[in-house]
């Protein structure tokens, strides 16, 4: 398919659908609202690759007992600033939501607290959890190790996850700061979407299975496609790109920081040990969340005033003129032409700003879903006789 079509749905309709599907699959009334909320946050903020499209994979995993429907989640270690939370292989969103709330309670007393969510599953949008802290005017942190898709610097084997990290901090008049990033150049799902759209990717996102840089999504996704393992697949590159010319070793290092602070520190799985999301194995992921109680450091209104001033200063500064890139394949490489555009960029953003504006717009006018997402929802709708219309 070379072009995608889109339809819009009211947020509440999609959330109710997810809630009822979860209940039908045996998730408790109390917990069933969380996965939909977390997944739709990604669609709302313009990242459909981590959005409601994932619901299908969860229902499949629940149906195959790869995710525990009736987990007994519990705190297994506790110090003044740390909680180890056992998800008992339950839904990643539910465990992450609960652990983040425990973490914030603890930070009220100790100033800063972190929680490991052990034996958990796919969490969706990493930034959903850090952004929970904004409701309580705290700084929220979230990071997660993920199955291997990224090559180490100077390597070509996918041995590291796209291991995302997120931090959210409240502001006053300005929108909150919401960084939410894979430590690879881009999230894997973005390559998948470019493929579905029939578009090339910029040079530097990934390598083919021989380790050659490429502009073709298919070279990275491999012959087996997105939803199945096996076949010859390429790798994503760490933030900073190939080799050390533009410091790809920094993104590589950041990805390992996530693995160390999650899987290795918690005694869970890490890097090369992790199953792929579409493997028929228990995921065994480790999610780290953290909360900082700003009031323990300085008065909240002063913090917010500085956040506003910092963001205003950035946004009001002089805009760059962009560059257009064209790529030409040559023997054993590429020729890249960078031509400066005539017009400057219209705006300078702060992290999360574009997503938050899109969220506001979509809450009002409906959530925009691509046809490939709608197909997945329709399949769930039929399979479980939900009686919804898409």
Within 241-260, which residues bind a copy of itself (CB under 8 A)? Answer: 241-243, 245-247, 249-254, 256-257, 259-260
Q: Interface with a copy of itself includes 205 (CB under 8 A)?
A: yes
d(CA 241, CA 89): 34
In three-state secondary structure terms, 227 is coil
| Residue nearer to a copy of itself on the CB measure, 68 or 184 | 184
C-alpha span between 82 and 123 (Å, rounded): 20
Question: Which range of residues in 23-31, 46-54, 326-334, 381-389 is near a copy of itself by CB under 8 A?
Answer: 326-334
Q: Which stretch binds a copy of itself (CB under 8 A): 7-15, 50-58, 154-162, 356-364?
A: 154-162
- Measured from the Cβ of residue 103, the count of other Cβ atoms closer than 10 Å reads 30
Binding string, 278-317, against a copy of itself, x = CB under 8 A? --------------x-x-xxx---xx--xx--x--xx--x
Please tell me whether residue 236 binds a copy of itself under the rule CB under 8 A.
no
Q: Is 339 in the site for a copy of itself (CB under 8 A)?
A: yes
- Dihedral sign from CA coordinates of 27, 32, 38, 41: positive
The count of chain residues that interact with a copy of itself, using the rule CB under 8 A, is: 101
Calpha distance 150→222 (Å, rounded): 14
Of the candidates 123, 144, 266, 374, which one interacts with a copy of itself according to CB under 8 A? Answer: 266
Specify whether the CB–CB gap between 234 and 209 falls below 8 A: yes
Site residues for a copy of itself, 65-104, by CB under 8 A, read: 77, 79-82, 84
Q: Which of 159, 282, 363, 379 is in the footprint of a copy of itself by CB under 8 A?
A: 159
Q: Which two tokens stand for residue 263?
A: 């899987």
Q: Which residue among 52, 55, 104, 114 contacts a copy of itself (CB under 8 A)?
A: 114
What CA–CA distance (Å, rounded) separates 85 from 386?
Answer: 33
Residues in region 119-138 near a copy of itself by CB under 8 A: none
Judge whether 22 and 61 are in contact, CB under 8 Å. no
Tell me, residue by residue from 27 to 56, as one string, x for binding to a copy of itself by CB under 8 A and - for no binding.
Answer: ------------------------------
Q: Which of 48, 51, 222, 240 binds a copy of itself (CB under 8 A)?
A: 240
Which tokens belong to 46?
Answer: 């313009």
Question: According to the binding rule CB under 8 A, does residue 335 interact with a copy of itself?
Answer: yes
* 338 touches 323 (CB < 8 A): yes
To a copy of itself, the closest distance from the beta carbon of 321 in angstroms equals: 6
User: CB–CB of 235/188 below 8 Å?
Assistant: no
Closest contact distance (angstroms) between CB of 160 and a copy of itself is 8
How far, rounded to the nearest angstrom, does the alpha carbon of residue 76 sit from its chain's CA centroid? 27
Q: How far apart, in whole angstroms, are the C-alpha atoms of residue 299 and residue 22?
A: 41
Q: Which stretch binds a copy of itself (CB under 8 A): 38-46, 192-200, 207-215, 361-369?
A: 207-215
Contact present, 289 and 126 (Cβ < 8 Å): no
Nearer to a copy of itself, 6 or 154 (CB): 154
Please identify which residue in the block is written with the tokens 């938050």. 356
Radius of gyration of the chain from its Cα atoms, rounded to whole angstroms: 21
And the tokens for 21? 């599907």
Q: Does 161 bind a copy of itself (CB under 8 A)?
A: no
* Minimum distance of a copy of itself from residue 288's CB (angstroms): 11
């Amino acid at each position: 398919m070379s072009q995608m079509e889109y339809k819009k749905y009211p947020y509440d309709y999609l959330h109710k659908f997810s809630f009822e599907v979860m209940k039908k699959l045996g998730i408790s009334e109390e917990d069933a609202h969380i996965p939909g909320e977390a997944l739709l946050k990604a669609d709302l903020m313009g990242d459909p690759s981590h959005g409601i499209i994932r619901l299908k994979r969860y229902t499949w995993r629940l149906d195959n007992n790869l995710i525990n429907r009736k987990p007994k989640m519990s705190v297994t270690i506790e110090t003044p600033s740390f909680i180890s939370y056992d998800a008992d292989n339950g839904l990643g969103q539910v465990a992450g939501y609960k652990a983040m709330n425990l973490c914030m309670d603890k930070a009220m007393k100790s100033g800063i607290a972190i929680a490991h969510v052990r034996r958990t599953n796919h969490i969706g949008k990493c930034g959903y959890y850090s952004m929970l802290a904004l409701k309580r005017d705290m700084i929220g942190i979230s990071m997660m190790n993920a199955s291997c898709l990224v090559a180490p610097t100077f390597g070509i084997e996918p041995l590291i996850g796209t291991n995302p990290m997120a931090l959210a901090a409240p502001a006053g008049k300005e929108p909150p700061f919401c960084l939410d990033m894979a430590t690879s150049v881009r999230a894997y799902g973005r390559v998948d979407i470019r493929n579905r759209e029939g578009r090339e990717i910029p040079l530097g996102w990934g390598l083919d299975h021989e380790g050659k840089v490429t502009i073709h999504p298919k070279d990275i996704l491999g012959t087996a496609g997105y939803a199945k393992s096996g076949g010859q697949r390429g790798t994503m590159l760490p933030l900073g790109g190939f080799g050390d010319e533009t410091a790809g070793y920094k993104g590589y290092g950041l990805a390992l920081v996530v693995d160390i602070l999650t899987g290795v520190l918690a005694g869970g799985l890490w890097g090369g040990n992790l199953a792929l999301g579409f493997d028929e194995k228990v995921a065994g992921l480790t999610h780290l969340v953290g909360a900082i109680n700003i009031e323990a450091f300085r008065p909240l209104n002063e913090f917010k005033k500085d956040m506003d001033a910092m963001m205003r200063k950035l946004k009001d500064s002089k805009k760059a003129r962009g560059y257009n890139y064209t790529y030409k394949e040559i023997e054993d490489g590429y020729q890249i032409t960078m031509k400066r555009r005539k017009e400057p960029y219209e705006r300078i953003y702060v992290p999360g700003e574009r997503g938050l504006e899109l969220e506001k717009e979509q809450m009002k006018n409906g959530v925009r879903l691509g046809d490939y997402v709608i197909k997945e929802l329709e399949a769930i709708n039929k399979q479980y006789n939900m009686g919804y219309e898409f």
